[in-house]
Amino acid sequence: MLRNFVRQRFFVVLVLLVVMLVFFTLTQERFLTPENMSAMMTSSSILWVASLGLTFVMLAGGFDLSIGSMLALCGIGLGWFTNEAGLPLFVAIILTILLGVALGAIVNGIPIGKYGLSFLVVTLGSLILFRGLTNLWSGTKTQQIISPFLDELAFGSTLGLPNPIIVMIVTFLIMLYVQKYTFFGRDVYAVGGNAEAARLSGIRTSRTIIAVYALSAGLAAVAAVLQDARIGAASPQVGDNLVFAAAAAVLLGGTSFSGGIGGVGGTVVGVIFLGVLQNGLSVGGVESYWQQIITGVILIAAIALDLVQRRRTTRSKSLRSTHVQPVSSAS
């Protein structure tokens, strides 16, 4: 029942996406131009990458409130590795991603996966912790990063495609492969569907949970590299609303808070939906605060639909169990 509802919700999102595309195309002359479409997708790159990581956490039945703070912290880390430590940019990027993976595993994954603490409590705490570390490390100051490579990453193109879009495509294909064709992807669905049954079947649930939080933080670090490249600096003020937009994208794409249902394919549709909406409103001259209000309404609606369906599914299972008649044994 829940799977059918998720499919219906995903279909509704697709229909609304097509309706928006048609509406904005007919009402705004500049909307469907190649330049605007390219700008829209490029501006969605940070949300796209971060949302893919959050998808795996939600598939496993959890949530990560800290991805925005992680993005800010890793962005500052990239600036420090490059400017203060004087490391080659490639090494700095690798260390930035490893920093995210390590913090995601140790600060979020181990308390949740190994010790069974609430993911909301842990990731709320890490949100505050990472933001504090960001301000401490940066001195609350933005630091310029001068790098031809980062400039090329943000504004260059390869084979006619903007480089941020190439990063988006490559990241999506890797995560899709991990989700569909690896034991880890199978384990994530199993843990999200029923953690106890997964444990009894031999899956190391604690390791899987630790891994999804490490993956989420690692992809937030990749998003931080894109963020630094776009603005040419490491800023402690970025990422404040990232988790809300990412949650909206993941939920719109059909991944459920209950875990075990959804996937990265739906998430990218959710990201595109939000990108089209915000771009269409921007091109139409709608103020940014209205865009935030509309995104907030969409997030609340998506969460409400998910919670309502989870309650219906639970009630349906309860009714079925009460109607099961015991089989009398032959005397």
Q: What is the pLDDT at residue 305?
A: 76
Both tokens of 277, joined, read 């909406």
Q: Are 52 and 175 in contact (CB under 8 A)?
A: yes
The pLDDT value given to residue 331:
35
For residue 56, pLDDT over 80 is answered with yes
Beta strands in the chain (DSSP E): 143-144, 157-158, 161-162, 233-234
Residue 275 pLDDT > 90: yes
If you count them, how many residues does the chain have?
A: 331
Q: Is the pLDDT assigned to residue 85 strictly greater than 50? A: yes
The pLDDT tens digits of the residues spanning 155-178 come to 999 999 999 999 999 999 999 999
- Averaged pLDDT of the chain: 91
Question: 3-class secondary structure for 214-239?
Answer: HHHHHHHHHHHHHHHHHHCEECCCCC
Q: What is the mean pLDDT of residues 183-195?
A: 96
Of 174 and 254, the structure prediction assigns the larger pLDDT to: 174
Over residues 280-329, the pLDDT tens digits come to 988 888 888 888 888 888 888 888 877 776 676 666 555 555 555 454 44
- Structure tokens that stand for 97 in this block: 């991603």
Sign of the alpha-carbon dihedral angle for 18, 10, 264, 246: positive
Model pLDDT for residues 212-247, shown as the tens digit of each residue: 999 999 999 999 999 999 999 999 999 999 999 999
Does the pLDDT of residue 10 top 90, yes or no? Answer: no
Q: What is the pLDDT of residue 314?
A: 62
CA angle at 319 for the pair 315 and 324, rounded to the nearest 5°: 150
